[in-house]
Structure 1
């Protein structure tokens, strides 16, 4: 925080506070502080800042200014306090109506239920006993109900619920924790809860819903940001039925549980417990305990479980009433966006769920749950959604003069990014744009963000790939608005995102980057995905790559791992050796090898790709860890990470460093794997040795590049780095080389962070 202080001896002054000051109880806090110090004046919101006028003795004003920083509400983020002399009305301190701000990136995410509200809904004599929509200035819905700025009740979906006299009295009382809490409500005036699809009478909606869940039924639950599909996480039949109805055969399911139950299911460190209890309440990937009381179909083949704590009063009441952990998975059909509107839920979830736990508070926008994992000493965000978005990110110091940018991200795990001044607003997870319904939701979200935050871009940034829906949309938008268009290579954007989050300034110069992911279009027109780059924000140069292999069938190779394995084995061992090896030949029994090899020979629908994601596919297929056809993205990488146990000497790779870019050749890797298969080496050791070998070869190559280029920092990004074993080993080895790793934490390493990287690249190019 920076602070400018002038006019400390005058009777009145205006104080401007910028940062996260919307929806966090900041004005009530200011009011109580001013009254405590016997200061006159007023406070009002304006966009992403608060303006305060105070009059009184200079010592009291100085104490007031200091307390704005040191005593601010827990959800606030005070970034700058500016003081200047001003005339102040000679009245008692008051809260003024909010004024309009030209631009704001200060809306707070939805906040998990605070301890005081949890205690209140559990107290039989409390006015809000068992009330599912209890909240205060420290908790409750925010971004999911906002329809406009400044953040006041008329600009939320609570506008249709006039306060009763009792709630109005609390709202107007400076001593009450609900003073100016915009979503304030109670059973007399607030949203109502009901159950559809169950004819039982005599019990409230929560108790009836809990009885259905205990009986093995599947429910749709309307919460914050959308619907969940819920069932008893201990009931194997219920979990199997949910998977069958939702057509989700193997992808792990998230579980909601109270803290005590979470400890019974998983090994939890103090840092992870703090993350579970954080106001953002993400789904947290935690190590499963052996013999944890869960249905085996929750996370098949995995050693980790996605766990989230109840984060609304409704969820607290439901989990307590059921008395068991609950599956809480996105309320959608497979691959479609999460549903957040009532009528759509009734239509699209019919046939999946047996009943609907509903309420009448509208949801302003879809927000999937955030997902995170504690790795290398930090909480690493894997999906940015409810509880985290739209908390702004601070750009490096020398981006303050950058023009406003709109960046549209990629095709998978899409998100968009708006920048203004020194802030970047990375949107919530929007989904995969190859699904038509998600593409429509993307365009809706873009209109929503640009209107809500009054954003007027000076430049549009897109991926190089011409067929991405986001790229085409950005091209059309830039042409229609007459705006310049910046095309940013996929892996350059990944590196830039890691650099910017780490505070790496433009003036700090280039870094080495290790990009490991599935596929992204390279500058040479081929598919990249396992590269070493030298880049600053404006430019990027590829200096090393994994040796490319042809993807027989194009996109089909990304869905069928055996196709990638065939290409790698043919390259490493030769076709005659593959065909003559009974073990290997069995892997391809019944497959059209002649056709695929002809395609690869002629380059027909067999594009070359250097991809770490496809390398994981091939190794998983060789070890018997991959199905013929994947059911979800990242399936093989998750299987390999789960299979790896203990420490193992690394499988070797070959380095062909006689030119630039030099090649990282996996031929020795596959020869070693095949030899160990014949020797019946344990699969866990082979999976561990693969991870170790991959970390060793890429850190060694990065160290070689850093020494040749005189660089000291290495950025790590791409979806493959969501693998904790690989990330930990890579960071450790880089530090042993004396290099500084730049690793994303608030920004997803996968394509969910792509738009942020595009935005800073475009901004740097425009600054000059």
Structure 2
């Protein structure tokens, strides 16, 4: 067997998610195996190796055999001259300040750590904070970079000699695991009830109380959860009553053997569940029935696996799934501090499960689903953030940009050095505390990633709080502010996720969502746009009708039904269906345009049709409630004879959907399915013609309505034979908006710069 000759002495730069994942000890062990001498260290750009005796095989193994949590974006080499010949291979101290490397997201407990906490002979037996370089908290405890213990909330815990020995041993999987701890030196957990810390085993006490039907507030990695027995309808009802959350689905947690009693995840769903990110995954109900109160009327439940040792140790004492919903007041950010929990959560919880490791930033659980067309991220949070996304080809020299997103499902985006960081879910910015979180996130992420923007991007709507936030940053830093039309940003976000080149040509974007200010000053929400990152034009749109009462139309589906029935010439039917409502007053307001702006919103059309079928509540208790009910009903029906929606000069008219004479079935489930099919076909036909005429090269599907898996499936089917791009790893809803804003602003800035040369 011949061996490849060694390469000249090299400086090897590793870029990507390579800090806090055991990459340096991995390199140290790899160097021993390959006979390489030199050193490895962390610095602001990632990992830097100085190597003598490296071979092509050594370079290949840096990618191919990287640690589980590592994500290697690039391996770059350059000649290097050692000032002194290296003796052996050492791990050097971190150097520099600032950040061009990626921070690792928080990761679910690994099999090795779980084996230790269940081994009576191990010193971490029963310890709820075991972790190593392959798992545990990262972003949630980080103060600043480089990622060293002194710059995390673990700085308060001095390592005992045994933990110190592991931390300093390159051959140990806890080498430089910054949160390393044990019962002798690390964080501790306890239970409080009635304002008193109980002198009991906190894990056994928590399990006992949950089994007795109590509601507990449990502190995790990114915040508190409110937990109760998910098989106990009474406990679920009390939780909903206390939290004033009548219908919004509640997330569940269970080990896989318990989860399988109530769901049957396929291979793709299982892969998402068991990913280190441990997201909530929507799974069809199956097997042993659980109370409908977990997700009233919904065919799916949101499940996640236990992801901290504390969760696992509680489940070792239980044999039921648990509700694990965000611990917060309705509409407010998730609680993260012990004192905050005492002040806010005791109105919901019978007891608190606390610990003394501080949480540095609120991280809601990520929410995902798997469709026939791949995964779909509904909410980007713990476990996914702050993973970065590469910018598409053509954006290599783009200016560093900060974008502030929208007011609903707030998230910001920082673009820098070929990467985009889309932040965690910040909540709805109409809430004052959520807006304060957004302001904090801008400063936090800028500091954490050493980000000095030269360009600020925001939504076109000047009244958005997110736009006001962007304006304030632009004024403070004396930077240009670029206003980006809402639906253009949706299109660009999907293009960017798919790495569509900047010069890749125009696409047809089917953008269906709730509301966004249009370029013509009206409220858009159901459009076909033709364009690219730099510019778009509007090719087709839903026929606009008034949003009677403005924001009230978003809360009361029947108002949208009134507008659609009147527009369809079905005023008599509106009188019959909506008897007792102040129709004359509302119609007068609509005619005068008094707090009744015209809108092409697809989201409000979903609300109207849910009301038409009698499945929408009088007043929504959460955004999307009526649309989710419509999708759930549609999944039990089929479309026998699709209704064709007329298109006249770009205007798609949904009136036939509300005309009983043209409907082929009185079965509500078939009508619901037919609604989805008609909408999908009408928009797909416009987009197909744009591709066929050469005006577009592919079709993009974006906007919150495309989180509806049935609508997504029917639209893709209607576009058979045409390249289709849809969201997989970024939210189709406004949680992905900031990414699109950044891309549009960068493309327009570079175009202006080119024009000025």
Q: TM-score range by the shorter chain?
A: over 0.9
Tell me how far apart the structure 1 counterparts of residues 225 and 736 of structure 2 sit (CA, whole Å).
25
**SS of match in other structure, 2:42:** strand
Tell me how far apart the structure 1 counterparts of residues 162 and 294 of structure 2 sit (CA, whole Å).
45
For the pair 1:593 / 2:583, whether they are aligned, the reply is yes
Tell me how far apart the structure 2 counterparts of residues 614 and 650 of structure 1 sit (CA, whole Å).
24
Match of 2:750 in 1: 767
For the pair 1:638 / 2:638, whether they are aligned, the reply is no
For the pair 1:142 / 2:160, whether they are aligned, the reply is no
Instruction: Kindly report which structure 2 residues correspond to 1:377-416, keeping only aligned pairs within 5 A, or say none.
Output: 377-416=373-412
Tell me how far apart the structure 1 counterparts of residues 640 and 454 of structure 2 sit (CA, whole Å).
52
Give the 3 Å change call, closer, same or farther, for CA 731–675 of structure 1 in structure 2: closer
Q: Which of residues 754, 757, 761 is equivalent to 2:740?
A: 757
Is the Cα–Cα contact under 8 Å of residues 373 and 713 in structure 2 kept in the other structure? no
Q: 1:156 deviation in Å?
A: 0.8
Q: Which of residues 699, 723, 747 is equivalent to 2:730?
A: 747
Q: Which of residues 672, 689, 692 is equivalent to 1:687?
A: 672
Residues 9-40 of structure 1 show CA distances to partners (whole Å, capped at 9, x for unaligned) of 43x22111111111111111111111222322
Is the Cα–Cα contact under 8 Å of residues 399 and 421 in structure 1 kept in the other structure? no
Residues 251-301 of structure 1 show CA distances to partners (whole Å, capped at 9, x for unaligned) of 0000001111211111310111111111010000000116x3322210110
Give the 3 Å change call, closer, same or farther, for CA 392–711 of structure 1 in structure 2: same
Match of 1:608 in 2: 598
Instruction: Kindly report which structure 2 residues correspond to 1:306-385, keeping only aligned pairs within 5 A, or say none.
Output: 306-385=302-381
**SS of match in other structure, 1:530:** strand
Match of 1:572 in 2: 568
Match of 2:754 in 1: none
Q: 1:124 deviation in Å?
A: 1.2
Q: 1:203 deviation in Å?
A: 4.2
Match of 1:46 in 2: 43
Match of 2:32 in 1: 35
**SS of match in other structure, 1:508:** coil
For the pair 1:620 / 2:605, whether they are aligned, the reply is no
Listed as ranges, the gaps of 5+ residues in structure 1 are: 1-6, 580-584
Is the Cα–Cα contact under 8 Å of residues 214 and 322 in structure 1 kept in the other structure? yes
Is the Cα–Cα contact under 8 Å of residues 225 and 367 in structure 1 kept in the other structure? yes
Tell me how far apart the structure 1 counterparts of residues 694 and 552 of structure 2 sit (CA, whole Å).
39
Match of 1:79 in 2: 73
TM-score (norm 2): 0.96
Tell me how far apart the structure 2 counterparts of residues 273 and 574 of structure 1 sit (CA, whole Å).
48
Structure 1 stretch 556-565 or stretch 165-174: which is displaced more? 165-174
Q: 1:377 deviation in Å?
A: 3.4
Q: 1:154 deviation in Å?
A: 0.8
Is the Cα–Cα contact under 8 Å of residues 190 and 198 in structure 2 kept in the other structure? no
Is the Cα–Cα contact under 8 Å of residues 45 and 51 in structure 1 kept in the other structure? yes
Instruction: Kindly report which structure 2 residues correspond to 1:86-101, keeping only aligned pairs within 5 A, or say none.
Output: 86-88=80-82, 89=84, 90-101=86-97
Instruction: Kindly report which structure 2 residues correspond to 1:640-679, keeping only aligned pairs within 5 A, or say none.
Output: 640-644=630-634, 645-649=636-640, 651-657=642-648, 659=649, 662-672=650-660
Match of 1:702 in 2: 687
Match of 1:273 in 2: 270
Q: 1:573 deviation in Å?
A: 2.6
**SS of match in other structure, 2:140:** coil
Cα RMSD after superposing both structures: 1.6
TM-score (norm 1): 0.95
Tell me how far apart the structure 2 counterparts of residues 452 and 351 of structure 1 sit (CA, whole Å).
35
Q: 1:673 deviation in Å?
A: 8.1
Instruction: Kindly report which structure 2 residues correspond to 1:53-72, keeping only aligned pairs within 5 A, or say none.
Output: 53-56=50-53, 60-72=54-66
Structure 1 stretch 192-201 or stretch 36-45: which is displaced more? 192-201
Q: 1:66 deviation in Å?
A: 1.7
Q: Which of residues 14, 28, 34 is equivalent to 2:11?
A: 14
Q: 1:87 deviation in Å?
A: 2.4
**SS of match in other structure, 2:567:** helix
Give the 3 Å change call, closer, same or farther, for CA 488–105 of structure 1 in structure 2: farther
Tell me how far apart the structure 1 counterparts of residues 641 and 539 of structure 2 sit (CA, whole Å).
23
Q: 1:322 deviation in Å?
A: 2.2
Structure 1 stretch 437-446 or stretch 706-715: which is displaced more? 706-715
Tell me how far apart the structure 1 counterparts of residues 681 and 662 of structure 2 sit (CA, whole Å).
20
Tell me how far apart the structure 1 counterparts of residues 232 and 743 of structure 2 sit (CA, whole Å).
48
Tell me how far apart the structure 2 counterparts of residues 650 and 35 of structure 1 sit (CA, whole Å).
69
Residues 425-479 of structure 1 show CA distances to partners (whole Å, capped at 9, x for unaligned) of 0000000001111011110111110011110001000000111011011112212
Residues 230-261 of structure 1 show CA distances to partners (whole Å, capped at 9, x for unaligned) of 01101111000000000100000000011112
Match of 2:755 in 1: none
Q: Which of residues 210, 213, 221 is equivalent to 1:213?
A: 210
Tell me how far apart the structure 2 counterparts of residues 103 and 668 of structure 1 sit (CA, whole Å).
56
Give the 3 Å change call, closer, same or farther, for CA 200–72 of structure 1 in structure 2: closer
Is the Cα–Cα contact under 8 Å of residues 650 and 690 in structure 1 kept in the other structure? no
Q: Which of residues 495, 505, 508 is equivalent to 1:512?
A: 508
Tell me how far apart the structure 2 counterparts of residues 23 and 200 of structure 1 sit (CA, whole Å).
34
Tell me how far apart the structure 1 counterparts of residues 198 and 599 of structure 2 sit (CA, whole Å).
61
Structure 1 stretch 229-238 or stretch 681-690: which is displaced more? 681-690
Tell me how far apart the structure 2 counterparts of residues 688 and 574 of structure 1 sit (CA, whole Å).
22
Tell me how far apart the structure 1 counterparts of residues 390 and 132 of structure 2 sit (CA, whole Å).
28
Is the Cα–Cα contact under 8 Å of residues 226 and 367 in structure 1 kept in the other structure? yes
Is the Cα–Cα contact under 8 Å of residues 511 and 701 in structure 2 kept in the other structure? yes
Match of 2:498 in 1: 502
**SS of match in other structure, 1:439:** helix
Give the 3 Å change call, closer, same or farther, for CA 673–629 of structure 1 in structure 2: farther
Structure 1 stretch 127-136 or stretch 170-179: which is displaced more? 170-179
Give the 3 Å change call, closer, same or farther, for CA 684–458 of structure 1 in structure 2: same
**SS of match in other structure, 2:528:** strand
**SS of match in other structure, 2:145:** coil
Residues 52-88 of structure 1 show CA distances to partners (whole Å, capped at 9, x for unaligned) of 11123xxx43332121111111211112112222223
Match of 2:256 in 1: 259
For the pair 1:469 / 2:465, whether they are aligned, the reply is yes
Instruction: Kindly report which structure 2 residues correspond to 1:694-733, keeping only aligned pairs within 5 A, or say none.
Output: 694-733=679-718
Q: Which of residues 204, 208, 224 is equivalent to 2:221?
A: 224
Q: 1:744 deviation in Å?
A: 1.1
Tell me how far apart the structure 2 counterparts of residues 596 and 674 of structure 1 sit (CA, whole Å).
28
Size of the aligned set, in residue pairs, is: 743
Tell me how far apart the structure 2 counterparts of residues 386 and 650 of structure 1 sit (CA, whole Å).
44
Q: Which of residues 537, 549, 558 is equivalent to 1:553?
A: 549
Listed as ranges, the gaps of 5+ residues in structure 2 are: 752-757
Tell me how far apart the structure 1 counterparts of residues 478 and 642 of structure 2 sit (CA, whole Å).
53
Is the Cα–Cα contact under 8 Å of residues 288 and 303 in structure 1 kept in the other structure? yes
**SS of match in other structure, 1:265:** coil
Q: 1:147 deviation in Å?
A: 0.6
Residues 391-445 of structure 1 show CA distances to partners (whole Å, capped at 9, x for unaligned) of 0001112111111000000010000000012100000000000111101111011
